[in-house]
Structure 1
Amino acid sequence: MKPAGTQPPAPGTPARTPSPALTAWRFVMVFGVVSLLMDFVYEGARSVTGPLLAHLGASAAVVGIVTGAGEAAALGLRLVSGPLADRSGRFWAWTVAGYALTAAAVPLLGLAGALWAACTLVVTERVGKAVRSPAKDTLLSHATAATGRGRGFAVHEAMDQIGALLGPLTVAGVLALTGDDYAPALGVLALPGVAALALLLRLRAKVVDPAAYETTAGEPTGKGSGPGQTGRPRLPRAFWVYAAFTAATLLGFATFGVLSYHLVARHLIPTATVPVLYAAAMAADALAALATGWLYDHLGARVLVVLPVLSAAVPLLAFTDTVWIVVLGALVWGAAVGVQESTLRATVADLVPMGRRATAYGIFAGIMGAAAMAGGALTGILYDVSIPTLITVVVTVQAASLVLLWATRAQRA
């Protein structure tokens, strides 16, 4: 028996999506806490992956192959998980499954007594990131339609970085207290992992359909945005031009590995100080994400001009022999990473309709991964050849990326 006053919708009238139980900003903040806790877990583990594998008998080559395979899995498998998430429409399920893989793999890594088991768990943790990332970014993209895409993704990235700082420091502290015992050092990371999963499940119960944020904000959903629908729209040409711009910026972007190599090889700072400098770079990452996110919501994609400028400045500063200038270069490197991890993702959501967004994030991550790998190799090789040549090539590549950014804006117009 229907309640009094309830009338069924007229035939052909779409059902009204119920309003979420949380405001868009509360959704972003709670999701940010989930990411903070999970960064606590997996960044804590990644900070000691090399020494742990070596403790189990791995050579430097094995460590390089295993960690490289993990990063390839984290990025490359998104080309599969993104389209599958779009086709199924089960974005929450993909997100929960990916986080659960990471939360389980990290504590078990501390208990691994055989090298093959530890190697498997290192790659499994990275597979978890591949499983969740396109779906997670899609869920966030809905809420950021209401908060402002730039600010929403920037706040999420800033909270990520808090976890990325706390995790390694916690693991270092436990190792110091236990005499380098990896079991308790990684076992303690089970606590934030369980807390993150509990909070994520609660968030899922509160906001079953985050797409309601986007429809409430009046943004177009695109055809075929629901699960099982056909006739999904193609990815727009502007997305592909934008992906080319992103690839160019990363192709000419030095990795922190090359920066830290320069610091130690030139005896500019002690090896033990390098992690401290990395932590400072992560703080610059968070600040740059917040600043460019706010500017993106006011100025649009033109704010991304700052990324090639920062990327070109890194080798000019970081590959000198003056300590304070090198430190400044490392901070600029961190700021560029902050833009890459926040504002670049926000722009994808503005370029692609809901029905293909997880697919777009998967493809975008794959392109970023391939370009970052090529960029790391290019800058490393050129460093050995000639630092002036390295600087010239990087500045040239970043100048070319500005042309692609202009072409992206022209495609959207």
Structure 2
Amino acid sequence: MERPGHGRTGRLQESPQARPAGEPGIRRRPLWGAVVGFGLVSLATDMVSDGARPLGGPLLAQLGASALLVGLVTGAAEAASQGLRLVFGPWADRTGKYWTFTMAGYALTVVCVPLLAVTPLVGSLGLVLAAALIIGDRVGKAVRSPAKTVLLAAVAGPAGRGRGFAVHKSLDLAGALLGPLLVSAVLVATGSLPAAFAVLVVPSVTALTILVWLRRRIQDPGADSATADAGPAGSPAPGAVPSGEEAAGRPATVFSSVFILFAVAAFLWSAGLVAFGVISYHLTADVAVPVSVVPLLYAGAMGAAAVGALASGVLYDRAGAAVLLSLPVLIAGVPVLALAPTAGLVLAGVLVWGAATGIQDSTVKALVADLVPQPRRGTAYGVFAAFEGAGALVGGALYGSLYGALPVLIGTVAALQTAALVLLLVTLHRARPSAGRGSAKGRT
């Protein structure tokens, strides 16, 4: 049996509490190394997943799908990505096998996406197969995401979770930028969608190779790391945002009222954040943008997402969770711009969509980690993602059904985001009644 606090290689995995006072730099390099390692895996995997993502709408359209079907498939894919975490998050917590779920989820993505290359070649079954593979890619994300996020939260905590998640997300988004550039180059050279999907085999193999290497150096966080993260007598980590229950002297649980309020807000903003498949359908069907250009626009969105993630992460650690109030505001502007009839406005909408996505996928997770004790974070991420997934499914149907009635769609999204903003304000007030600063307050 391994000694507490030691990984598979015997290397000390130090908690924030183990760091001597006045020596904030101790073990900082190995901890950042783990964050960067996870980021490199995400970089390669997102070259695969996000390289294919902007082509999902055009591929489905080429195979005979309508705007409504594109909205339902992409919405169902996002719903699977988020909602199934409700199953896999608690499962990972119960078994403690975070690495098993992480590796299985990555493997599913890197198998499903390259197989999209064969969908135009199988006749009438192509549309069904493409829909299944697009959803399968996102199921892989559901399998790995809660477990991977628990691993990341554990290694990023001492350096500041806002910054840790932001750095990881920036590397993740570098892959989300490089993948579309790669498939765009293949499309320009060959004009073939199958070839564009097939080339993604290369980053698929790279992702699995890095993941296996990383697995041998970082252990699953078990009871020992949970104790270290919680501190003496189950106290929260330094700087963690106290929930209303904790402030009142009651123990916090995953289903605390402040957590549920935050999750309902996530449902509302997810219902308003259109899947990129609908935007790419709009670009090719109604704005007459060449298919080869769509991945370049998506790459630009990922650049905006990286900026959004880094900026919000730094502000989260320095000024507090109030930075998340910008999220509903950004989302409310997406349908106004991204579904406009002119390419210039659509480009602006794509960049706004990217910035909102970056905040949602990074800094939002940092607040979840600060609201919930480590032993329940897998469950918490699963529950939280289920709310986001339900919102994504509603949003897919909403955008698909109201695609031809843009003013109604804009008004509906604005109403959803107004409600989300109100709930976020209540959440932040109850999470920190003193309206104090974020999780980095008091860190050196």
**TM-score bracket relative to the smaller structure:** 0.7 to 0.9
Which structure has more relative contact order (CA 8 Å, sep 6+)? It is: 2
Q: The residue matched to 1:60 in structure 2 has which SS?
A: coil
1:191-270 alignment to 2 at 5 Å?
A: 191-210=202-221, 233-256=253-276, 259=279, 267=287
**In structure 1, how many angstroms separate the alpha carbons of the residues matched to 2:165 and 2:401?**
34
Are residue 312 (structure 1) and residue 332 (structure 2) matched?
yes
Q: In structure 2, do the counterparts of structure 1 residues 270 and 79 end up closer, same or farther at CA, with 3 Å as the change threshold?
A: same
**In structure 2, how many angstroms separate the alpha carbons of the residues matched to 1:240 and 1:187?**
42
**In structure 1, how many angstroms separate the alpha carbons of the residues matched to 2:64 and 2:31?**
48
Where does residue 108 of structure 2 map in the other structure? 101
TM-score, length-normalised on structure 2? 0.75
Are residue 156 (structure 1) and residue 156 (structure 2) matched?
no
Are residue 60 (structure 1) and residue 71 (structure 2) matched?
no
Where does residue 17 of structure 1 map in the other structure? 5
Q: The residue matched to 2:216 in structure 1 has which SS?
A: helix
Q: Is the CA contact 1:309–1:398 (under 8 Å) kept in the aligned structure 2?
A: yes
- Counterpart of 1:125 (choices 115, 130, 137) is 137
Q: Is the CA contact 1:145–1:214 (under 8 Å) kept in the aligned structure 2?
A: no
The residue type equivalent to 2:65 in the other structure is: A
TM-score, length-normalised on structure 1? 0.80
- Counterpart of 1:147 (choices 145, 159, 163) is 159
The residue type equivalent to 1:246 in the other structure is: A
1:386-405 alignment to 2 at 5 Å?
A: 387=407, 389-405=408-424
Q: In structure 2, do the counterparts of structure 1 residues 386 and 47 end up closer, same or farther at CA, with 3 Å as the change threshold?
A: closer
Where does residue 436 of structure 2 map in the other structure? none
Q: Is the CA contact 1:251–1:371 (under 8 Å) kept in the aligned structure 2?
A: yes
Where does residue 227 of structure 1 map in the other structure? none
User: Which one has a bigger Cα radius of gyration?
Assistant: 1
Where does residue 136 of structure 1 map in the other structure? 148
* Structure 2 unmatched ranges of 5 or more: 7-11, 14-26, 236-251, 433-444
Where does residue 7 of structure 1 map in the other structure? none
Q: In structure 2, do the counterparts of structure 1 residues 185 and 303 end up closer, same or farther at CA, with 3 Å as the change threshold?
A: closer
Q: Is the CA contact 1:233–1:355 (under 8 Å) kept in the aligned structure 2?
A: no
**In structure 1, how many angstroms separate the alpha carbons of the residues matched to 2:193 and 2:264?**
45
**In structure 1, how many angstroms separate the alpha carbons of the residues matched to 2:333 and 2:199?**
39
Where does residue 86 of structure 1 map in the other structure? 93
**In structure 2, how many angstroms separate the alpha carbons of the residues matched to 1:53 and 1:265?**
12
Q: The residue matched to 1:167 in structure 2 has which SS?
A: helix
Question: Alpha-carbon deviations, 1:285-342, whole Å to 9, x = none?
Answer: 1101100010001122111111122223334555666764553333222211111111
**Residue correspondences, number:** 389
Q: In structure 2, do the counterparts of structure 1 residues 252 and 222 end up closer, same or farther at CA, with 3 Å as the change threshold?
A: farther
Deviation of 1:219 (Å): 5.2
Where does residue 409 of structure 1 map in the other structure? 428
1:374-389 alignment to 2 at 5 Å?
A: 374-379=394-399, 381-382=401-402, 384-385=404-405, 387=407, 389=408
Deviation of 1:165 (Å): 2.2
Deviation of 1:394 (Å): 3.2
Deviation of 1:84 (Å): 0.7
Q: Is the CA contact 2:160–2:317 (under 8 Å) kept in the aligned structure 1?
A: yes
The residue type equivalent to 2:208 in the other structure is: L
Where does residue 110 of structure 1 map in the other structure? 117
